[in-house]
Amino acid sequence: MIVIGNNVAGTTVAKAMRDADQAVDIDIYSEETTPYYPRPRLIDYLEGKVLEKDLPFYPLDWYQTHRLGLHLDHRAERIDRTEKRIQVQGRWELYDKLILATGSSAFVPPFLGLPKENVFTLRTLRDAKKIRELAAKSKRIIVIGGGLLGLETGRGLCSAFPELHITILESGEHLLMRQLDHEGADILQGWIEATGARVSVKAETEKILGDGSEAEGVMLKDGRRIDGDMIVISAGTRPNLQLAKDAGLKVNKGVVVDASLRTSDPDIFALGDVAEFSGQLWAMIPPALDEARIAARKILGQSSPDYSGTVPSNTLKVAGFDLTSVGTVRSLHEPPEPGIEEIRVTTADRGIYKKFVIKDGKMVGAILLGTKKEVVKVTKLIREGTPIEDIKDRLRDPSYTFN
Ligand SMILES: Cc1cc2nc3c(=O)[nH]c(=O)nc-3n(C[C@H](O)[C@H](O)[C@H](O)COP(=O)(O)OP(=O)(O)OC[C@H]3O[C@@H](n4cnc5c(N)ncnc54)[C@H](O)[C@@H]3O)c2cc1C
């Protein structure tokens, strides 16, 4: 078996295959030079809470103990489906089954004025090192993108370098457009601004300013100018599709897979950020874990339930700001669809905001802001589709904690 990619999807599928079969040969090719590290830890690294040496999830000898052939700094260049082999550093390696866990890359919108040496995205340890190094010498940082990652990056840098002035620019109507509604985002923005950071919403970047190789700031479409010594763009990700496309696999937004995580080629599987299941790209860790565990058994021809999707769950990992969004909170910006009921609760001091989305007597989504006591129980209710009619009225009580 050959796995391409050594982050959470690649490592988990390799481990699950080894757990299920002691004899099978497994090789992992990774273009990164560090063994698997969870990307959320990069925020801790930016903050100075974790050293580079402590980032890897497993030490190198773990791969040896599990007889996983790990080839770091080995980019897979081509897939030859006819001969069932991949090309790596000019050599050909044969596979029985090939697993694409090539993930995604940071997306950079086509702003005028790029590229510039002091404009970054955060995806890899190499990115984090460059950001941290320059942030230590900077006074004003601009973060373009008010999603989870943009906020976590901004807060991570603020706490590592308290003298830094941070401006967060969000092109949408409010922060966390995918996780929060107006009311929740308004509360969150207030908290962030109270820490000294500036937040600008409806702030669409047009141009990165600076005549030479260095950016000096950002020009917004409405003509406003924001000065900065460095810029971090956090505008989402795009799956790494080139290998799959060149190999003629079926590709839409991602590599299209079925409920066995099989691509249009029966000997090639895809999972994690690169895979598109049922029209959906997840770009999150929990689906990668679910998919990897199912795919491992399917690849080995062992019995396994089919993959049917994952209930999304997002947590803002910023000290002091508790925010979790679980399941379907899609009716954020429009009136709820017919059959959907929304219950919103805010405490008098606006320290807690909760929203529950209910359909057919079951909770299908929730936002919990300023509280984490209920997160596990609410997530369980949503994942298990438990009927909630008997507790529905109590949801309106801000102090109700699902006991
Ligand atoms: C800073 C940060 C914080 C995050 N926080 C969270 C969080 O809190 N919760 C959450 O759910 N998600 C979070 N995410 C997203 C999460 O990390 C991704 O969903 C997850 O990493 C996807 O895993 P993956 O293995 O599919 O792909 P990736 O992590 O993208 O890994 C793919 C690997 O394959 C390698 N590769 C690609 N092409 C080739 C090739 N041709 N040859 C060899 N190697 C190749 C890449 O270099 C990469 O190392 C965060 C992401 C970042 C950057």
Counting atoms of ligand 1 from 1, which one is nearest the CA of 272? 26
Predicted local distance difference test score (pLDDT) of residue 179: 83
- Mutation probe of ligand 1 site: the residue of 242, 285, 314, 321 with most atoms within 8 A of C-beta: 285
Predicted local distance difference test score (pLDDT) of residue 290: 96
Predicted local distance difference test score (pLDDT) of residue 320: 75
CB 322 within 8 A of CB 369: yes
Q: Which helix (H) or strand (E) holds 80?
A: strand 76-80
- Mutation probe of ligand 1 site: the residue of 102, 242, 289 with most atoms within 8 A of C-beta: 102
Predicted local distance difference test score (pLDDT) of residue 294: 97
- Measure the N-to-C terminal CA separation of the chain; round to a whole number of Å: 47
> pTM, whole model, 2 decimals?
0.93
Predicted local distance difference test score (pLDDT) of residue 258: 98
Task: Evaluate: CB of 5 within 6 angstroms of ligand 1.
Answer: yes
Predicted local distance difference test score (pLDDT) of residue 335: 65
Tell me how many helices (H) and strands (E) the chain has. 9, 25
Q: What is the mean pLDDT of each run of 10 residues along the chain (403 residues)?
A: 98 98 97 97 95 96 97 98 97 98 98 97 98 96 96 91 95 90 88 90 97 96 96 97 98 98 98 97 94 97 95 83 84 66 86 91 92 91 92 89 80
Predicted local distance difference test score (pLDDT) of residue 174: 93
For residue 269, give the 3-state DSSP assignment: strand
Ligand 1 center from residue 7 Cα (angstroms): 6
Predicted local distance difference test score (pLDDT) of residue 336: 66
Task: Evaluate: CB of 122 within 6 angstroms of ligand 1.
Answer: yes
Predicted local distance difference test score (pLDDT) of residue 330: 59
- Is beta strand 230-233 parallel, antiparallel or unpaired with respect to 76-80? unpaired
* Token pair recorded at residue 221: 């479409």
How many C-beta neighbours within 10 Å does residue 320 have? 9
Task: Evaluate: CB of 37 within 6 angstroms of ligand 1.
Answer: no
Query: Strand (E) positions, 119-201?
Result: 119-120, 140-144, 165-169, 198-200
Ligand 1 center from residue 118 Cα (angstroms): 23
Give the residue, by CA position, lying nearest to ligand 1 atom 15: 284
Counting atoms of ligand 1 from 1, which one is nearest the CA of 42? 1
Counting atoms of ligand 1 from 1, which one is nearest the CA of 105? 30
